[in-house]
Amino acid sequence: MAVTHIDKFVGMLLDLPVDSGVFYAFGPVTPGARQRAANARHPKISMKELAGEALFPPWSDNLEEISPWGTCRAPNCRAGEIWWQTFVQDDGTDAIEAGSCDYCGTWTVKCRDCGEEEYAFSTDVTCMTCGAGYELTSSDYQSNNWDGVVQTSKGHD
Ligand SMILES: [Zn+2]
Ligand SMILES: [Zn+2]
């Protein structure tokens, strides 16, 4: 099992609408191949070294292992991580945490009232848990590179 096997597997995954794969290695694995699998980000690779084992583990065991990889909650994006930024508020109220997904680009805002994370369909974000409203802002009106977030309405207590 060498690097070329992993590269071939990555190429196969890239043709599929998935962002992660489990690679079963039934033979010895070279250190290079192990490293290649460990460094793969999109798609992510989970390497199972089963040298000497005859049985395939049930697929459901691996699903549990894969799902916590990404923190992004946007639909069809399980593997992305949110790049959290802290936005200091001009009005002196507590800073708001928000950030974009490194995979799908969707923004997520952490609700200041209830702490839940809500992803943004548009520039207006409504917390589904408490109803608080937020708005993504940009100093460049034509850009969707948001550089700020403000709270537009309070959630219920
Ligand atoms: Zn995402
Ligand atoms: Zn909330």
Looking at 41, 69, 97, which one is the last position of a domain? 69
- The answer to whether residue 77 is domain-embedded is no
148 Cα: distance to centroid of ligand 1 (angstroms)? 19
- CB-facing half-sphere around the CA of 59: CA atoms within 13 A: 1
107 with 63, same domain: the answer is: no
Nearest ligand, CA of residue 118?
Answer: 2
Q: How far is the CA of 126 from the centre of ligand 2 (A)?
A: 8
Weakest mean pLDDT among 19-28, 51-60, 114-123: 51-60
Looking at the structure, do residues 88 and 145 belong to the same domain, yes or no? Answer: yes
Q: Evaluate whether residue 75 is within a structural domain.
A: no
d(CA 72, CA 64): 16
Say if residue 6 is exposed, middle or buried (CB neighbours under 10 Å; 0-12, 13-18, 19+): buried
* Distance separating alpha carbons of residues 127 and 134, to the nearest angstrom: 8
Ligand 1 centroid from CA 123, angstroms: 16
Ligand nearest to the CA of 113: 2
Residue 71: partners with Cβ closer than 8 Å, 6 or more residues away = 80, 81, 82
User: Does residue 56 sit in the same domain as residue 109?
Assistant: no
Distance CA 106, CA 89 (A): 22
| Least confident segment among 47-51, 76-80, 109-113 | 47-51
For residue 52, what pLDDT band results from cuts at 50, 70 and 90? low
Q: Which residue did the predictor score with more confidence, 77 or 151?
A: 151
Average pLDDT, the chain: 80
Residue 76 is assigned to a structural domain of this protein: no
Q: Does any domain span residue 51? A: yes
Ligand nearest to C-alpha 78 = 1
What range defines the domain where residue 28 resides? 3-69
Number of domains in the chain: 2
Rounded to the nearest angstrom, the distance between the alpha carbon of 4 and the centre of ligand 1 is: 29
Token pair, residue 67, equals 């799902």
Domain end: 69, 93, 118, which one? 69
Ligand nearest to the CA of 99: 1
d(CA 81, CA 106): 10
In this prediction the pTM is 0.56
Q: pLDDT tens digit string along 89-144?
A: 999 999 999 999 988 889 999 999 999 999 998 899 999 999 999 999 988 767 76
- Are residue 65 and residue 109 in the same domain, yes or no? no
**Angle formed by the axes of helices 31-39 and 3-14, to 10°?**
30
- Of 112, 107, 92, 93, give the one whose Cα is nearest residue 138: 107
